[in-house]
Amino acid sequence: MRGTDERSGTFFSYVDLESRVRSDHPLRSIRAIVNDALATLAPDFVSLYSKIGRPSIAPERLLRAMLLQAFYSVRSERQLMERLDTDLLFRWFVGLAIDDKVWDATVFSKNRDRLLEGAIAAKFLAAVLSQPRVKKLMSSDHFSVDGTLIEAWASMKSFRPKDGSGDEPPPGSGRNAEVDFKGQKRSNETHASTTDPEAKLYRKGPGMEAKLAYLGHALMENRSCLIVNACLTPADGHGERNAALAMIEPLANRPTGITLGADKGYDARVFVNELRAMNVRPHVTQNTSGRRSAIDGRTTRHAGYAVSQRIRKRIEEAFGWMKTVAGQRKTRFRGAERVAWSFAFAAAAYNLVRLPKLIAASP
């Protein structure tokens, strides 16, 4: 018998979102890990909100929604609200009932900015990793570090002299004026972006174009290749090594010692000596291009050095996912604090994507 195409409205709905999500859906395992992590952050959430006034967006729901934004490459808060309004899977993961009203995009953004004050992104990353079922997957002795370029949300046309000269566009040039800066000397000492003053002009390598950018840094443990720490620094020639020392210091000074793998950009005598002073064995790639490497036979003769050199490259997989899926190739935020928060949260999202399979495969 042919079915009918007539549509009739209903006054009541008995849809249970729990039954609409299949039992083996990957988000089920992720949601369980997320809920355990958010439960440990409850005291931090309480300190961020006033005890009087109208109820705001629950921070737990806000963070779950932001995770979906990273998982599904949703480009803006407005598009995220549209998905929450129409997608039952999104509603189930966030914790909204089928009849609950979706928040306004502007209200959502303002509540997200509130979480900057408590460094919630870094605490959420730590809360995920501190769970017993996650902690047993991780190495406490072997780590790798690397940095990646995060393009700022600012145009090169906004990079103007700090003294105010050359700010006025030519007459009749229109709203988006054409600017020809060929032959002009532009540097971070004399110029700054009017859109994001904290972004720095940075060239990743010889022959490559200079961009307004930040440097994101990540510390990875070598057993399951999970990100254990993430931070952001201005884009300069010393940010990577300084960030590496800051991230490895809380884990150093153990009697048995730990190892830290890194590429040849970290092969500097001062950096290597700092690691050895903290009882950290520097498994750094030797840079012998017209110079003498700070890494000698004391390090390279051990079999563990070759293992670290092989595993350290897997940190690029994390950077690749964070850039292509979580939207970190060109940040949507302005200011170092907001960009750093977004980068750390993307690192936590990357770990959550990998954890269900790692937990299932563990004995």
How far apart CA 106 and CA 20 sit, in angstroms, is 30
Residue with tokens 């009087």: 52
Q: For residue 67, which of 105, 112, 101 has the smallest C-alpha distance?
A: 112
Position 174 scores a pLDDT of 56
Percent of the chain with pLDDT over 70: 91
Position 3 scores a pLDDT of 56
Position 98 scores a pLDDT of 86
Q: Which amino acid belongs to residue 124?
A: F
Q: Tokens in use for 2?
A: 């042919």
Q: Which helix (H) or strand (E) element contains residue 206?
A: none
Position 188 scores a pLDDT of 85
- pLDDT band of 171, cuts 50, 70, 90: low
Q: Tokens in use for 345?
A: 């949260």
Q: For residue 151, which of 73, 262, 75, 232 has the smallest C-alpha distance?
A: 232
How far apart CA 275 and CA 284 sit, in angstroms, is 11
Phi, psi of 330 (to 5 degrees): -130, 110
Q: Which helix (H) or strand (E) element contains residue 232?
A: strand 227-234
- Residue 147 DSSP SS3: strand
How far apart CA 225 and CA 137 sit, in angstroms, is 9
Give the pLDDT mean for 45-64. 87
Give the pLDDT mean for 185-199. 88
Position 2 scores a pLDDT of 63
How far apart CA 138 and CA 117 sit, in angstroms, is 29
Give the pLDDT mean for 205-213. 85
- Is-contact 265 290, C-beta < 8 A? no
- Residue 259 DSSP SS3: strand
pLDDT in tens, 59-72: 999 999 999 999 99
User: Does the pLDDT at position 216 exceed 90?
Assistant: yes
pLDDT in tens, 246-281: 999 999 888 888 999 999 999 999 999 999 999 999
How far apart CA 136 and CA 231 sit, in angstroms, is 24
Residue with the larger pLDDT of the pair 120 and 239: 120
How far apart CA 57 and CA 70 sit, in angstroms, is 19
- Residue 34 DSSP SS3: helix
Q: Which helix (H) or strand (E) element contains residue 200?
A: strand 200-203
Q: Which residues contact 264 (CB under 8 A, 6 or more apart)?
A: 284, 285, 286, 287
Residue with the larger pLDDT of the pair 319 and 20: 319
- Is-contact 98 13, C-beta < 8 A? yes
Q: Which amino acid belongs to residue 184?
A: Q
Q: Which helix (H) or strand (E) element contains residue 192?
A: strand 191-193
- Is-contact 237 201, C-beta < 8 A? no
Q: Tokens in use for 16?
A: 């249970």
pLDDT in tens, 104-117: 999 999 888 888 87
Residue with the larger pLDDT of the pair 109 and 2: 109
Residue-averaged pLDDT of the chain: 89
- Is-contact 60 147, C-beta < 8 A? no
Predicted TM-score (pTM) of the model is: 0.90
Domains in the chain (CATH in brackets) are 17-47+55-115 (no CATH), 138-152+213-344 (3.30.420.10)
Give the pLDDT mean for 91-96. 94
User: Does the pLDDT at position 134 exceed 90?
Assistant: yes
